[in-house]
Amino acid sequence: MDDGGVGSASSMPVILNNNNFAKGTPTLLSLDDARTLFHELGHGLHGLLSDVSYRRLSGTQVLRDFVELPSQLFEHWISEPEVLQRHARHWQTGSAIPAELVVRLQRAQQFNQGYETVRYTASAMADMAVHSLTDAEPPADLCAFEADLLQRMGLPSAVGVNHRLVHFQHLFAGSSYAAGYYVYIWAEVLDADGYDAFVEAGNPFDSDIAARLLRHIYSSGNSVPPADAYAAFRGRGPTVGPLLKKRGLLQAEPA
């Protein structure tokens, strides 16, 4: 099959994840390292669980603003107490992570999220602005262009941006993320809303929801339009509320 069929037993996917973690004796993973591991494993599962007929439609070969959904969604399980109790163990005693520390870790996830959201959004908007230029020649002074843009956007000077345009390798090392840096926060809208299906079920390991996630997201690749695939999993389109709640940006409802 010229296109590289992956639907038969003779064409099983082979996935390799390489992670750069600090060496040590012993080698210990921080929570950020563990979250990265889960993120990349989510990408790996996207390929391993792919069940379509053609390689060009399989696994992670989906639209750029959909490829981060399976990986970012899988990050949610690293914060589940059951997962931490099983895997986050003291390297010397083997004892499980204390329950009170799990609570502190979960609360810390909302720290500084207003600041981080503004920084990220500013970089995404700068990306869109620079790729919306119609002149053949780039601005003579890219830093001046950026400063003027951020001032017009009203970005507080104390906040800044995630990436300065002069070293924004996501955008200029290739075409993949050009005018597409927004995809991470859009994928977070999807992953927060998608994980809420498990929250609503009252069980992060609900088998029925997991089966829908497998069928419509992890295994379908690009054989189904992303919006249709998500709606088939969730029963509706995504909403932004779960993301705002996850980041602590929604005002708490009165008791």
Q: Which CATH number fits domain 1-111+183-255: 1.10.1370.40, 2.40.10.120, 3.40.120.10, 4.10.320.10?
A: 1.10.1370.40
The token pair at 232 is 């088939």
Separation between Cα atoms, residue 66 and residue 216, nearest integer Å: 13
pLDDT digits (tens, 9 = 90+) for 148-173: 999 999 999 889 888 888 888 888 87
Measured torsion, CA atoms of residues 186, 188, 192, 198, in degrees rounded to the nearest 10: 110
CA distances from residue 18 to 1, 36, 41, 218, 241 in whole angstroms, order as listed: 29, 11, 10, 20, 34
pLDDT digits (tens, 9 = 90+) for 49-99: 999 988 889 889 998 889 999 999 999 999 999 999 999 999 999 999 999
Separation between Cα atoms, residue 99 and residue 85, nearest integer Å: 8
pLDDT of the residue at 5: 43
Domain ranges of the chain: 1-111+183-255, 113-172
pLDDT digits (tens, 9 = 90+) for 164-205: 888 888 888 777 788 888 988 999 999 999 999 999 999 999
pLDDT digits (tens, 9 = 90+) for 92-129: 999 999 999 999 998 999 999 999 999 999 999 999 99
Active-site residues, by number, are 40
